[in-house]
Amino acid sequence: MDREISGLSSMATRPVLAELTEHIRLTHGLPVRFASAGGVEIARRVRDGAESDVLVLADGALAELAGQGHVLGDSVRPLWVSQVVAAVPEGTPVPALRSESDLRAALSSARRIVYSTGPSGDALIDLITRLNLADTLQDRLVQASPGVPAGSLLSPGQADLAFQQHSELMDLPGVVIAGPLPGGSAISSTFSGGVLAASSQPGRARAVLDLLGSDAATKTARARGMRAAGEL
């Protein structure tokens, strides 16, 4: 009997993968289970020789692992695009984000700003630098620990403004999403999938990737705050 197909993913794709793997199991008879953690931690596990079959990760990190021989290069495919959104604690004023000036005002008025690790967090710091707010905000910035949703620091009062992938913020209790970042300030991440070189069943792993890239999977991704790669 074929064993369960195992996967590794970053936290941003955990909600959509949880729904899709259940659908794949019930509809296609392919048992799949993903373990999720911060993207940096997942990349470390892969480099350390994690025994798994499928990897879903931000495209830059996945491409790097493929270049190092940890992922089968011809299996890599873009899956979904996720936007970074801003969020505030429930019951507090929701800032307007219609323009870059609105964003600058929201950042400047926040007492504590929490952001995520990984590429999207790096992109936010670059944006703050571009807005010439790095010095103003340096003592107000809090980076969430790897694998911890930035929004989880809002309701306990540890921060009053959070930035993270939409999929990671949309279901958190006590959190209200203000919206995506406006215009040229927008931050998005593409998440790709690939078959790990260590996989003992690469054929079935490729079948799972095909299903993750299917139209049915796209509908689920949209409901979880993402869109299909290549979709405008």
Mean pLDDT of 95-99: 95
The model's pTM:
0.86
The angle subtended at Cα 65 by Cα 61 and Cα 71, nearest 5°, is 125
The pLDDT tens digits for 24-48 are: 999 999 999 999 998 889 999 999 9
C-alpha dihedral (9, 14, 19, 22), degrees to nearest 10 = 40
B/e letters for 115-124, b = 16+ CB within 10 Å, e = fewer, are: bbbbbbbebb
Rounded Cα distance, 133 and 145, in Å? 23
Domain 5-81+189-228 is classified in which CATH homologous superfamily? Periplasmic binding protein-like II (3.40.190.10)
The pLDDT tens digits for 214-223 are: 988 999 999 8
DSSP 147: T
Same fold, 5-81+189-228 and 83-185: yes
At 232, the pLDDT band (50, 70, 90 cuts) reads low
Mean pLDDT of 69-79: 97
The pLDDT tens digits for 162-181 are: 999 898 888 889 999 999 99
What SS3 state is found at 92?
coil
Domain ranges of the chain: 5-81+189-228, 83-185
Q: Is residue 185 a contact partner of residue 102, using CB atoms and an 8 Å limit?
A: no
Mean pLDDT of 94-116: 95
State the distance between the two ends of the chain, measured CA to CA, in whole angstroms.
42
Give the containing element (helix H, strand E) for 175: strand 175-180
Q: Which two tokens stand for residue 15?
A: 């909600």
Give the CATH class of 83-185.
alpha beta
pLDDT of residue 186 exceeding 90, the answer is: yes
